[in-house]
Chain A
Amino acid sequence: MELVCVGLNHRTAPVEVRERFAVPAGKLGDSAKRLLEIEGLEESVVLSTCNRTEFYLAGEQAEQAAAELRRRLAATHGADSDPHWYEHHRISAAKHLCRVVSGLDSMVLGETEIFGQAKEAYRQALDAGATSGVLNRLFQRAFGVGKKVRTDTRIQEGATSVAGAAVELAEKIFGKLAGCRVIVIGAGEMSRQTAQALVSRGATSVFVTNRSFDKAEQLAAEMGGRAVHFDEWQAVLAGVDVVISSTSAPHPVVLPHHIESVRRVRKFRPLFLIDIAVPRDIDPACGDIEEVYLYDIDTLEQLADEARTRREKQIIECDRIIDEELKKLNLPGT
């Protein structure tokens, strides 16, 4: 019995190549089943995400089948893709799957979405009858290993993006974000990402203000929020918990007197100011107000950088756990 993984990912292939080989989310099972038409192949699972397409193959002549699969892919999708493919054989294929499931092979190290995507790919292959003894054992063990890696190490600790770092800080201030009200000043891409991250964690009301009202309306519609004219944003300040500012103004837009004027109405509740503009939008003196927590782009970038470094330091420990767990597996084909 042989085990092979054939794939391409964000490291080996640019997006214009990856998109040609992407398999639609609902057709992973059918795809895996069709692969079994290749001679020498007895089991297969197809995993396809925005960053990778991988074929896990098992059979008496899986290595020959892998070569045949690559020939067919070159014939149908173009031979120029060939240098982008990688192959892992036997134990290396098993280890690769464990690393993928644990988020060690992801663009954002330690991200968790891949775990669910791999589970779904396996479920579809199982339902389609494309898996049997070898891949069933391998995938089930890989999911166990993935969980162990996340529990026993700090691979997913800390946010690795500016938006993620802002959300973590918001949760440190407000706890659950359900019911949190947010105002976005300046409808740029960074503020959109940050506001979206807050909304995905439960923030309910989003107000968007921008010098061009059309853009504000557009972003507000996207967030399910409300657009506010740029000369009216100060009136909204009394009711919000988080301010995200990212305008292209050459001077500060949010000044201490804006906050001082609403402190009594706000009953001095905590206020989280996120300044992701360069030059800065929020006067640093706002951070001297007792209930205000002010973070600028540099601090948030630094937090994200530190989290990435911390995660990278965990890779050795994660690989050790994977090796240890795979030794226990004693799988045919590895």
Chain B
Amino acid sequence: MDRWFLIAATALAAVGGVAGMWSVSKGIRSRWTVIWMIAAFMAQMGFLSVRGEARGACPLVGLGEILAFLAWSLTFFYLAVGPAYRISLLGVFTAPVVVIFQAVALLPGQLIADPPRVPGTDAWHETHAAMSVLSYGALALAAVAGVMFLVLDRQLKDHHLKSGLFRNLPPVRELLKSTVRLLWLGVALLSIGVFAGFMMPRQGGTAHLIAACAVWLSYVGFLAIKQTRGLTGRRTATVAVLLFVVSLSVFALV
């Protein structure tokens, strides 16, 4: 049952993304992507609720569940930020990332068919896991906005101004503002996650916590430089994308 929810969420996000891209190729703004993404979000909620019920805890055991939770978090922030700040095309760029995360989660061996209950849940551990993955949703969306900036920046620099993509992308300044706001939000949530990580009972090695601290420090250092010295839009966007990809890869390894 839970697996079907995730398959439905993936299909809905894929349809939203494809419909959005089709509209953009025709030079018109897609008004339906957000609807498809709301439907995908509902299906994600279905998956997490069934899985959470079975686990008796936040479903964050194993790569499959983490990626599904991350996709939910990314969709959540997209739905919260995109329409509120009227960032057009954010859904078109977000949908493929959601599809990739969920497709990997659906690969054979990533999701156990009958997940066992998590023994002896701990509040700090739950907070650490949930806040960390939630923060990654915000940081992922910052990376998505960063990619949108890089596309627009290239088009403006090269004077390629005819495409439907160019016409529908939000202004440079709006994209940069959104990227930085999402980075701050992600870092705030990650701070809670890292703090909770120090408070939770330790089980085995500390590599995971060291990696979390390194990621946190990288983001904080990046934002401090941006705030004090300033950074060009291109560097801000590139670092937002690279940091997200690197930190995600680090957690896949430790």
B161 touches A173 (CB 8 A): no
Q: Chain A's nearest CB lies how many Å from the CB of B232?
A: 4
A303: B residues at CB distance < 8 A: 161
A173: B residues at CB distance < 8 A: 156, 171-173
Query: Within the assembled complex, what's the spacing in Å between the Cα atoms of A222 and B159?
Result: 32
Query: Per-position contact with B for A298-319: 1 when CB-CB < 8 Å, else 0?
Result: 0100010010000000000000
Query: Per-position contact with A for B218-254: 1 when CB-CB < 8 Å, else 0?
Result: 0000000000011111110000000000000000000
Determine if B174 is an interface residue (Cβ-Cβ < 8 Å).
Answer: yes
Partner of B170, one of A175, A295, A306: A175
B152: A residues at CB distance < 8 A: 172
Query: Per-position contact with A for B3-20: 1 when CB-CB < 8 Å, else 0?
Result: 000000000000000000
Determine if B162 is an interface residue (Cβ-Cβ < 8 Å).
Answer: yes
Q: Chain A's nearest CB lies how many Å from the CB of B176?
A: 8
Query: Per-position contact with A for B168-194: 1 when CB-CB < 8 Å, else 0?
Result: 001111101000000000000000000
* A264-B172 contact in complex given A287-B157, A299-B159, A303-B161, C-beta closer than 8 Å: no
Query: Within the assembled complex, what's the spacing in Å between the Cα atoms of A250 and B231?
Result: 34
B156 touches A291 (CB 8 A): no
A266: B residues at CB distance < 8 A: 230
A172: B residues at CB distance < 8 A: 152, 156, 166, 171-172
Q: Which residue on B lies nearest to A180, using beta carbons?
A: B173
Query: Within the assembled complex, what's the spacing in Å between the Cα atoms of A171 and B171?
Result: 7
A295 touches B232 (CB 8 A): no
A174 touches B230 (CB 8 A): no
B162: A residues at CB distance < 8 A: 306
Q: Chain B's nearest CB lies how many Å from the CB of A89?
A: 39
Query: Per-position contact with B for A149-175: 1 when CB-CB < 8 Å, else 0?
Result: 000000000000000000001011111
Instruction: List 27 A-B residue pairs with CB atoms under 8 Å apart, sorted by A's residue number.
Output: A169-B156, A171-B171, A172-B152, A172-B156, A172-B171, A172-B172, A173-B171, A173-B173, A174-B171, A175-B170, A264-B229, A264-B230, A266-B230, A267-B229, A268-B230, A268-B232, A270-B172, A270-B173, A270-B176, A287-B157, A290-B232, A291-B232, A291-B233, A293-B156, A295-B159, A303-B161, A306-B162
Residues of chain A having any CB pair with chain B under 8 Å: 169, 171-175, 264, 266-270, 287, 290-291, 293, 295, 299, 303, 306
Residues of chain B having any CB pair with chain A under 8 Å: 152, 156-157, 159, 161-162, 166, 170-174, 176, 229-235
